[in-house]
Amino acid sequence: MSKKVIIGSRESRLAVIQSEMVRDYILSYNKDCEVELLTMKTTGDKILDRTLDKVGGKGLFVKELDKALLEKKSQLSVHSLKDMPMEVPEELPLLAFSKREDPRDVLVLPEGIKELDESKPIGCSSLRRTLQLKELYPNMKFKSVRGNVQTRLKKLDEGQYSALVLAAAGLKRLKLENRISRYFEPEEVLPAAGQGILAIQGRKDEDYSYLDGYNDEDSECAALAERAFVRYLDGGCSSPVAAHAKVEKDKIILTGLYYEEESGAWRKASLRGKREEAEELGIRLAKQLKHPGKVWLVGAGPGDIGLFTLKGMEVLKNAEVVVYDSLVGQGVLSKIPKGVRLINVGKRASHHTMPQEQINQVLAEEAKKGLRVVRLKGGDPFLFGRGGEELELLHKEGIPYEVVPGVTSSIAVPAYNGIPVTHRDFCSSLHIITGHKKKGDTYDIDFKALVNTKGTLVFLMGVSALEDICNSLLQAGMDEEMPAAILQKGTTAGQKRIVATVSTLAEEVKKQGIETPAIIVVGKVCALADEFAWYEKLPLFGCKVLVTRPKETISSMAHKLRLLGAEVLELPAIRTEPLEDQSLLKEALKELDSYQWIAFTSPIGVKVFFDEMKQNSVDVRKLGQVKIASIGKGTRKALEERGLFVDLMPAVFDGDSLGKVLCEVCEGTEKILIPRAKIGGKEILAQLAKKPGLIVNDVPTYDTFYEEQEIIDIKNLFENGEIQTAVFTSASTVRGFVNAVSGLDFEKVRAACIGKQTKAEADSYGMQTFMAKEATIDSVTDLVVDLNKK
């Protein structure tokens, strides 16, 4: 017996064609089906003298069709998805989505006409289109046009309009593609959500097996993202909201447009994500556009990352775009999170990658995309940092902003050189002056007034004009024996100080040489520099160290080295991530009480193991009879933090030694679990294999990935001798470093290695290698200090 299917459809020619497409599919794949069309005129088709937003929106196109479904007069309804309300009744779900036809909007001119007639309006049925088209056709007027496609084309050809803007999908389905004069790419005119996709609607909990195979997964993914975006913003057919998703294998790129009625401003932005998070992506993009971006002007301090403020670090962690200067310290730059878009404006005296006016514009444009923008500036953003100029445009554009002050070099750099900028025995005021002037210009500075203050004078950006500054002070009456200093690269490994007098400082600089950035300090307090100097007395002063530990464990090593005076660059050469498939570990956890030993080889291995125990509701008491072995102190600490104290740890902290001591304490009947890295070394397994009878379950729990570093030219720093030592804490960090710094002559690298396996890996690349006495952070730190003495 054949099954009868009745498809509800609007009676317009386009709607009927679309319903016939679905009918033909059902008949092709279901020989026992009989299909009829039930056409009807909807309320939206009847009211043609007003725009949809004035009479009820998209719901007017589906009201009658929904009623037919509910009354069981039809089994299906076929809709253009773009015409459907964002909220669909629970009892009438969307069953399937067609393969997407061309989603673009197009321009249609009257028959036989090749150019727009500016005396007539463009027929356009939505504010969404009008907003975007005004950007393309600023001299044209726009007028609403209603009716089906044929009705609109008739009005066009009768001369009522200079052109129409329609959906390409409808024209192509009507075989009217020849009427298209121009396609608007989504980058020009963003289409309506769902444009080009047909949606099949039916009743809840009924058998629709005859539609099997019809649904297009890419269209469904795009529809979910686009409709979630519009739904969050409460946009209807005539609301100026638009969305278009491009699906590429497992990825989705969603672009959205949002119109703010109160201000009249509209914004567009895009987001990328995984296809399985399509709806979440739509909501995220909607939130981003509805709540626009923001700019933070952040002072990065003078160079030493220890002087970067806590608030600055917090803001930087959450940045999506960072616009940075050349004067920002490398330690701060290395803290910029992975995935953040970087814009280098390269501001340094006489060398500007980007003019200030363009920088201002970049900040505004990026924020308008709904992004969190950090303007990272050396020192303090308001002290000769032109932060005020950047805020002027942001304020004018109504873009939210915050200012995070930074430690200024005018105070910090003298302090690191033992120069207190005020001292009641010498002076009671401090004056900060820009020493920068254009070549050939004279200073617009009252040097006589500066001399009369008898205070400390700090000149920023004045190295190239040092002689002019000193001569101007002398001509203004300053004592020629007044102490003066020039301070190079203060608070970093490149710190250097020349102290002389106002009359001799320029000559001393010619003799000894100085590099920028540097500041000039004039005043009696400069005489205290040799007495009060402290930074240069630290054991690692002048030493720049590269630390290559995994990202998760990098900070403690860097902290210890900085306390000793080193400038530390943190290069997370590797990162570790738990495996998505933890099935092997889950099986092991089910039978934990069958193991006699668990051997941990890293802190991250400990973390992943206990995270999985929690995830799988495995009670820690199941470990009651199991003994714990640790490869070293760091892993032992991670276990102790979870209330477990190790039973065994080798004297030498490596896999080979851990395997040996396990063999020594085992009888040969034990079962040993080793949860560790997917690419873990074979040494421990080789040692355990020497003990017959041991049952070893080597379970991969996390993977190791090599990180690439873009913002700092590490290769150049090694080749110029600016980095004295690289610290390696595992063979994998050596490999990660080599991967991240391709093209470097590794013989130039002096490597401080935590153990023999790490040293062997570094040796294989020809590095100058040195090994710590113990495989601990403290021992590696001592090694770096010893190397710096040589």
Q: Are residues 90 and 209 in the same domain?
A: yes
Range of the domain at 79: 1-101+194-215
Residue linked to tokens 């200012």: 403
Q: Which CATH number do you get for residue 780?
A: 3.40.50.10090
What's the mean pLDDT in 642-646?
Answer: 93
CA distance 545 to 659: 33
Q: Are residues 711 and 700 in the same domain?
A: no
Catalytic: which of 218, 325, 380, 654? 325
pLDDT at 53: 47
Considering the domain boundaries, does residue 302 fall inside one?
yes
Q: Are residues 326 and 394 in the same domain?
A: yes
Task: Supply the DSSP string of 481-528, one letter for each residue.
Answer: T-EEEEEESTTSTT-EEEEEETTTHHHHHHHH---SSEEEEESGGGGG
Structure pTM? 0.60
Considering the domain boundaries, does residue 189 fall inside one?
no
The answer for 234, left when phi > 0, alpha when psi is -120 to 50, beta otherwise, is: left
Residue 388 has pLDDT above 70, yes or no: yes
φ, ψ at 36 (rounded to 5°): -125, 155
Domain closes at, from 238, 272, 289: 289
**CB-count burial class (<10 Å; 0-12, 13-18, 19+) for 756:** middle
Catalytic: which of 82, 347, 544, 691? 347
Q: Are residues 178 and 199 in the same domain?
A: no
- Residue 347 designated active-site: yes
Residue 645 has pLDDT above 90, yes or no: yes
Residue 589 has pLDDT above 50, yes or no: yes
What's the mean pLDDT in 57-68?
Answer: 74
pLDDT digits (tens, 9 = 90+) for 38-61: 999 866 555 544 444 444 444 456
Q: Which CATH number do you get for residue 344?
A: 3.40.1010.10
Q: How many domains does the chain have?
A: 7
Q: Are residues 671 and 741 in the same domain?
A: no
Q: Are residues 533 and 457 in the same domain?
A: yes
CB–CB of 435/461 below 8 Å?
Answer: yes
Q: Are residues 360 and 460 in the same domain?
A: no
Q: Are residues 205 and 67 in the same domain?
A: yes
pLDDT digits (tens, 9 = 90+) for 83-130: 899 889 999 999 999 999 999 999 999 999 999 999 999 999 788 899
- pLDDT band with cut points at 50, 70 and 90 for residue 446: very high
Tokens representing 702 are 């996390």
